[in-house]
Chains A and B, each alone.
Chain A
Amino acid sequence: MAPALLEVADLACRRGGRQVFDRLSFALGAGELLALTGRNGSGKTTLLRALALLVRPDAGSIRWQEAVVWSEKRQAEPETWRSRLAWLGHLDGLKGDLSVRENLLVAERLRGGPPADDRLDGVLIAFDLLNLAMRPVRVLSAGQRRRTALARVLLSQAPVWLLDEPLNALDVPAQAAFRTALRTHLAAGGLAIAATHADLGMPRPRTLELAT
């Protein structure tokens, strides 16, 4: 087994007076995928948001390559951790008035990355968006928007993917495209944590079931 890159130990989170999850521990090495399962409302999204530090955990620790990202006692500069993350929330995070192309390029510049123009076409082809690239996102269907949001994740080249229901609204060819992209990402040593019940197309996916 690969040495762990991401280590989560005893993570706990309370929201609105309710313990969403408690003493949650897992470790992921390069090329590993963790599928989060559990009933609706079991805290999959909260866990993803806690890992992104969008929600403050209450106890436990998150480590990346043995350096503390977050713990009760010490919080490192969150900017370094954020630069490693690619985020796909349940909202697509796209601007309706901007085209697919503009949305992707702006998102990449907001991540502080170098101009991504030369990588863009490859990402658009991967999700079959080339012929939609100039269309404003507001005229796209839900599945086409989801594909654009996934293209944004792929464009970021971040090592850690945090995905909330990535296959939502995707048709069969788009699901296959996502699985290919995910496989390539993992084969290149990336990590992915996905909240989903659908088959992510990996031979032996590790799963973490959250109890309600």
Chain B
Amino acid sequence: MSGFAALVARDLRLVWRRPGDVAVVLAFFVVATVLFPLGIGPEANVLARIAAGVLWCAALFASLLSLDRLFASDYEDGTLDLLLLAPWPLELAALAKCAAHWIVTGLPLAVLAPFLGIAFGLDAKSLLALAATLLVGTPTLSLIGGLAAALTLGARRGGALLALLALPLCVPTLIFGAGAVESRAIGEDFSTHLAILAALALVALATTPWAMAAALRQAGE
């Protein structure tokens, strides 16, 4: 367990040394979201209607943006070999990398999204639902994206391939995430949506570390 904590701490420290990388992701999220009202027009009821879908899609793209470096930087400087040789399970190491990614991407996105929701004219209840769904849903995005990053390690044009692999797998999370906010907006209970999001996150948690570890071992060969 000390190795897991050490790896999360190391990755957070690396991000802290280069805060620009996270700033770019968050700036992309803001800019991409703000483009929609400009393109679609200022009708408040239309904007409120599409807000959840737009914010969820933008969050998905933003979290994919930083994922191609998740394992690639370790692969290029040789530290991946040290993780492969560490005397504790590689599955935990992969999970630690995803956890660090979520802390610096998913978590800030969930915090930032309600503020952007205001610009779309979402009411207070929907804003809260938006933050809650992103909080529960973004770990899934980090895990699925981490799997795609591990699978595309060493491939040319890995970034585009990564998005192609990860996006279809993220569809269920997107549907229930955006759906939860919409049902909250029309006054319905959204706990079912939230429970399904949590279930998706747990399924990803229970499966992706093994797949990531297998892909990383393959890349190390």
- Chain A interface residues toward B at CB < 8 A: 15, 49, 52, 54-56, 79-80, 82-83, 85, 87, 89-98, 102, 106-107, 109-112, 136
Asked if B125 is an interface residue, CB under 8 A from chain A, the answer is no
* Residue from the list A80, A98, A102, A110 in contact with B82, Cβ < 8 A: A110
Asked if B161 is an interface residue, CB under 8 A from chain A, the answer is no
- Chain B interface residues toward A at CB < 8 A: 2-3, 6-7, 10, 13-14, 17-18, 76-79, 81-89, 220-221
B14 near A97 with CB under 8 A, answer yes
Q: With A79-B87, A87-B82 in contact, do A93 and B77 touch (Cβ < 8 Å)?
A: yes
Q: With A89-B81, A91-B77 in contact, do A109 and B6 touch (Cβ < 8 Å)?
A: yes
How far apart are the CA atoms of A87 and B87 in the complex, in Å? Answer: 12
A-B contact count (CB 8 A): 76
Please give the distance in Å from B139's CB to the nearest CB on chain A: 23
How far apart are the CA atoms of A111 and B7 in the complex, in Å? Answer: 10
How far apart are the CA atoms of A91 and B81 in the complex, in Å? Answer: 9
Q: Could you say which residues of chain B place their CB within 8 Å of the CB of A85? A: 85
* Residue from the list B3, B13, B78, B221 in contact with A55, Cβ < 8 A: B221
Q: Could you say which residues of chain B place their CB within 8 Å of the CB of A83? A: 87
B85 near A82 with CB under 8 A, answer yes
How far apart are the CA atoms of A129 and B14 in the complex, in Å? Answer: 22
Q: With A54-B85, A93-B78, A93-B81 in contact, do A102 and B2 touch (Cβ < 8 Å)?
A: no
How far apart are the CA atoms of A65 and B76 in the complex, in Å? Answer: 35
Please give the distance in Å from B20's CB to the nearest CB on chain A: 12
A52 near B13 with CB under 8 A, answer no
Write the chain B residue with the least CB distance to A137.
B77
Q: Could you say which residues of chain A place their CB within 8 Å of the CB of B13? A: 98, 102
New A-B contacts (20) at CB < 8 Å, excluding given A15-B221, A136-B17: A49-B221, A52-B85, A54-B85, A55-B220, A55-B221, A79-B87, A79-B88, A79-B89, A89-B78, A93-B78, A96-B77, A97-B18, A98-B14, A98-B17, A109-B6, A110-B3, A110-B7, A110-B83, A111-B86, A112-B2
How far apart are the CA atoms of A55 and B218 in the complex, in Å? Answer: 9
Please give the distance in Å from B206's CB to the nearest CB on chain A: 21
